[in-house]
Amino acid sequence: MNASYNEMAGRLMVALDYPDAERAKGLVRQLEGIPCYMKVGMQLFYAAGPDFVKELKAKGYSVFLDVKMHDIPNTVKGGSDSVTRLGVDMFNVHASGGALMMQAAKAGAEAAVADTPDLAMPTIIAVTQLTSTGQDVMNNEIGIPGLVEDAVVRYAKLAQQAGLHGVVASSLEVEAIRSACGQAFKTVIPGIRPAGADIGDQARVLTPGEAIRKGSHYLVVGRPITESPSPRQAAEQIIEEMIQA
Ligand code: C5P
């Protein structure tokens, strides 16, 4: 395995969207040896909790806790303190919670790190617009006027000003975010579909190769791996496509 394999595998975040630890462990076993990031979302975290996260960390995985916090600043600060103490490498909050809430998320993580020897500061990212939200839903249901891309860039700048390290966005907005916030500002990109794969409920999708070429830092992939008859092969194909790009 060469450096570009390890680098690209480390930029693939596998979404462990399962209802219980047993099924999630089944997938982790099938992917054993692939140095990918593991994403634990609310379905699995609400069911399997901190123990499952600690197990992934004990196996050496980087863990993205995708719990999308959105509450008053004091509550988010406490949540952030708690998840940082689990040793997660990344977690996220909604940018629509505002600057004070995002600053509180950072302060909570800093407090946990200051209080715990050997604990590294996690990467904290903001959700801009869910990739399942299209133009019509954003304008007419949520009530945000204008283009999705403009709303996403506005949220990204707000997150950066609040001191967060990056955003979750769709690959269609990566270039605009990079030019507004710079290359070091992390982009975490769900809605990735290999050519010919089922889009499901995602509205804004790109292939792994296209997402890398646009400069995305991390690619979040769920169903194209979890629902594949051969998850390991699906993951390896995605990493190969990332390397080629
Ligand atoms: O199965 P699929 O590849 O669509 O999974 C995408 C994953 O990324 C899911 O776990 C979903 O919760 C997450 N996600 C997303 N859109 C965001 C943030 C996270 O789809 N804006």
The ligand 1 atom nearest the CA atom of 193: 3
- How does pLDDT run along the chain (245 residues), one tens digit per residue? 577 999 999 999 999 999 999 999 999 999 999 999 999 999 999 999 999 999 999 999 999 999 999 999 999 999 999 999 999 999 999 999 999 999 999 999 999 999 999 999 999 999 999 888 889 999 999 999 999 999 999 999 999 999 999 999 988 899 999 999 999 999 999 989 998 788 888 777 889 999 999 999 999 999 999 999 999 999 999 999 999 99
| Residue 202 CB less than 6 A away from ligand 1 | yes
Q: Please state, in angstroms and rounded to a whole number, the distance separating the CA atoms of residues 222 and 26.
A: 15
Residues 119 and 160: beta-carbon distance below 8 Å: no
3-state SS, 12-54, equals EEEECCCCCHHHHHHHHHHCCCCCCEEEEEHHHHHHHHHHHHH
| Residue 133 CB less than 6 A away from ligand 1 | no
Whole-number Å distance, alpha carbon 129 to ligand 1 midpoint, is 11
Q: Which pLDDT value is given to residue 204?
A: 73
Interior CA angle at 199 toward 194 and 201, to 5°?
Answer: 145
Q: Which pLDDT value is given to residue 120?
A: 96
| Residue 17 CB less than 6 A away from ligand 1 | yes
Is residue 77 among the annotated active site residues? no
| Residue 168 CB less than 6 A away from ligand 1 | yes
The DSSP H or E segment spanning 93 is strand 90-94
Q: Which pLDDT value is given to residue 188?
A: 97
* Token pair in block for residue 21: 């630890």
* Token pair in block for residue 97: 């919670």
The ligand 1 atom nearest the CA atom of 130: 21
Helix 21-30 with 42-58: angle, nearest 10 deg: 50
Specify the DSSP class assigned to residue 206: B
Q: Which pLDDT value is given to residue 223?
A: 95
What's the whole-model pTM score? 0.94
Q: Please state, in angstroms and rounded to a whole number, the distance separating the CA atoms of residues 91 and 10.
A: 16
